[in-house]
């Protein structure tokens, strides 16, 4: 697996090899996004961004919805640049606003997009860990008094 991080370096290990963005767009088979929503990343994945990929890719947005322009993903699917997409976030997620988007009907009809809820943190293990941390913090507060 290859990976790119604009701000972090030296993270290569046996699971991921650090590469440049130029190498990502040249060699990636799957592009999986895991970035926060900032001024810099808002709308980052647009038609121009996807244009640079040299071969067809599978695209996953597991970050924040507003990082990706949905119409750009649909355009890339039509052009054969994206073979399929998995989205657990969208740039607009609430009804009725979602159904009012120009791209909504196409997104539903394409057959090349899987949608899933953004609930990776909603597991038994995550709730247990949250509860353990909360109990520890409450214990620290009561000991401090």
Q: Give how far the C-alpha of residue 144 lies from the chain's centroid of Cα atoms, to the nearest Å.
A: 41
The yes-or-no answer on residue 93 being catalytic is yes
Point out the catalytic residue in the list 17, 22, 27, 93.
Answer: 93
Point out the catalytic residue in the list 118, 125, 128, 140.
Answer: 118
Cα–Cα dist 139/136, whole Å: 5
Point out the catalytic residue in the list 64, 91, 100, 106.
Answer: 64
The yes-or-no answer on residue 40 being catalytic is no
Q: Which two tokens stand for residue 81?
A: 């640049």
The yes-or-no answer on residue 64 being catalytic is yes
Just list the catalytic residues: 64, 93, 118
């Amino acid at each position: 697996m290859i990976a790119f991080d604009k701000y972090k370096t030296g993270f290569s290990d046996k699971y991921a090899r650090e590469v440049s963005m130029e190498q990502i767009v040249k060699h990636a088979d799957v592009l999986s996004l895991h970035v926060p929503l900032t001024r810099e990343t808002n709308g980052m994945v647009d038609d121009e961004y996807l244009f640079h990929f040299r071969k067809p890719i599978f695209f996953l947005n597991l970050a924040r919805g507003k990082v990706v322009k949905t119409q750009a993903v649909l355009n890339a699917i039509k052009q054969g640049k994206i073979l399929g997409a998995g989205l657990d976030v969208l740039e607009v997620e609430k009804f009725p606003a979602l159904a009012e988007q120009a791209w909504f009907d196409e997104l539903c009809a394409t057959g090349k997009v899987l949608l899933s809820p953004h609930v990776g943190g909603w597991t038994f293990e995550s709730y247990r860990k949250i509860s353990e941390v909360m109990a520890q913090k409450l214990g620290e507060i009561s000991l401090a008094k």
